[in-house]
Amino acid sequence: EIVLTQSPATLSLSPGERATLSCRASQSVSSYLAWYQQKPGQTPRLLIYDASNRATGIPARFTGSGSGTDFTLTISSLEPEDFAVYYCQHRSNWPWTFGQGTKVEIK
């Protein structure tokens, strides 16, 4: 099973700041990596698929990058609605797994 390790566990930032979230895979997942956002009491929302493709309706301030084992989700300028938990997830081979999540909180 491929393990995805997200860092940091918590990111404390202010609105308008840049957020950089990391996801590291225990072995290569090629570009088969997605990012999801989950707000309290809500279902997850797909942000990025296949490492760098924004899902439908996702603002341009969200950017995904990386391949192999190291991936990054960047939020260029945090909006109030971006404070949430973010999960990475691979689909390289079964079982598909999620990272443990990074919480982006208001500083």
Least Å distance between CB 40 and other proteins? 11
Does 101 sit near other proteins (CB under 8 A)?
yes
Count the neighbouring beta carbons within 10 Å of the beta carbon of residue 82: 19
By CB neighbour count within 10 A (0-12 exposed, 13-18 middle, 19+ buried), where does 56 fall? exposed
For the chain, how far is it from start to end, CA to CA, in angstroms? Answer: 35
What is the distance between the alpha carbons of residues 16 and 27, in angstroms, rounded to a whole number? 34
Question: Which one among 19, 25, 36, 83 touches other proteins, defined by CB under 8 A?
Answer: 36
Q: Does 49 bind other proteins (CB under 8 A)?
A: yes
Residue 9 as a binder of other proteins (CB under 8 A): the answer is no
Q: Which residues bind other proteins (CB under 8 A)?
A: 32, 34, 36, 43-46, 49-50, 55, 87, 89-91, 94-101
